[in-house]
Amino acid sequence: MEQKLIVFKLRENIDMGVSNNGYEMKTYALSELTEDANIIVSESWGQPNPADANEYVHIVYDMKDIHLTDEKMDFTFKGTRYTLNRQWQLLGTLGFGVPNAYVHISNRFIFYFGTASEDGENLEGILQELYNKMAANAEEGKYWKNIPLARQALQLMKDCNPKNENVPCLSFCETVIEDQLLDPLDTPRLLLSMMEYQHVMYGSDYKWNQPAYNLRWVTSSHATEKDIENFIGEKRHLKYDPIQLSQPWEDNIYEVEEELNEQFKHEARYMGFCHRYWSAKRAALAKRGIEWRSPQMMNPTTRFD
């Protein structure tokens, strides 16, 4: 089945103080995603302007400046430039940004590549096997091994219609997130993709999305150094290099950890081994153009054994 761009819109209508949630899903053939295309992904009607009971506010959002390759897609949406990985990543716009004060409707958009198939056959067993492997890796503290497993799961889930109740995607997302099987400091975008897909399944509102909103903020270009420091401080009692939240880090960390695992597979974890490991990790990252400061460098007054 041909892969398409899927745009999933969650909406929350407020009518007489009552919240009514809904969703819309549109698919776009890859042939439509050209650089000069002007693709409208949503049309929203607000409530009447009190100044004129017959006048409704019509809002149009579109995608512009599209650049598509075999690996990724870059595009501009609501004034922000996004990069969407065609293999696994989902992107959500967590800020509604409806400009008219009289429009009582909130829209949130999710972009991802998939097929929107209704076929969920055999998916439950596959996801259970992936979860078991991820839980075993987390038990050993080897969270990096869960990166390809989570990406594989997301790719499988994206090929199913998210509103198909016959697929077990929601329970998989919930348990992976709740059991903390992905490290938010190494793979924040992968974890966010898992959260986003969970939110697609729920059709949840803005407040319910707060953890995802925080993660989206610290991985955005709008986050300040203080924002990132505070985020890391909530996750760890020590200081960590903020570069661990960057896209280059996330793109390379699995390959680096796999390389180090092979390098030290026959070496005992003796006292002080962490310094040797961090030195090798720093060198492996430097080869990939990433300057990383180890926990010892970030916490010079702390003694590590």
Q: What is the pLDDT of residues 221-244, one digit of tens each?
A: 788 888 888 888 888 888 999 999
Written as six digits, the tokens of 153 are: 């799961």
- From CA 224, how far away is CA 217, in angstroms rounded? 10
Question: Within a domain: residue 141?
Answer: no
Question: Within a domain: residue 145?
Answer: no
**Bridge pairing between strands 91-93 and 105-114:** antiparallel
Question: Within a domain: residue 210?
Answer: no
Question: Within a domain: residue 66?
Answer: yes
- Of 30, 42, 23, nearest to 164 (Cα)? 23
> Residue 81's pLDDT is what?
86
Q: Which of 114, 147, 167 is the last residue of a domain?
A: 114
Question: Within a domain: residue 183?
Answer: no
> Residue 122's pLDDT is what?
78
> Residue 105's pLDDT is what?
46
> Residue 267's pLDDT is what?
84
Per-residue CA distances from 298 to 15, 100, 225, 252 (Å): 51, 46, 15, 21
Q: Which of 85, 114, 143 is the last residue of a domain?
A: 114
Contact 2, 37 (CB under 8 A): no
Per-residue pLDDT of the chain (305 residues; tens, 9 = 90+): 788 999 988 765 555 444 556 678 889 999 999 888 888 887 655 554 555 545 555 667 888 999 999 999 999 988 888 889 888 888 877 554 444 333 344 567 889 999 887 766 678 899 999 999 999 999 999 999 999 999 999 999 988 877 776 678 888 998 999 999 999 989 999 998 898 888 777 765 444 567 777 888 888 878 888 888 888 888 888 899 999 999 999 999 999 999 999 999 888 778 888 999 999 999 999 999 999 999 999 999 988 87
Question: Within a domain: residue 290?
Answer: yes
With a CB cutoff of 8 Å and minimum separation 6, the contacts of 212 are: 92, 94, 192, 195, 196, 199
Contact 93, 80 (CB under 8 A): yes
The domain in which residue 238 lies consists of 224-305
Q: Which of 68, 92, 114 is the last residue of a domain?
A: 114
- From CA 27, how far away is CA 103, in angstroms rounded? 26
Question: Within a domain: residue 203?
Answer: no
Question: Within a domain: residue 248?
Answer: yes
Written as six digits, the tokens of 19 are: 């919240």
- DSSP helix/strand/coil, 270: coil
Looking at the structure of the chain, the number of domains it has is: 2
pTM score, whole prediction = 0.84
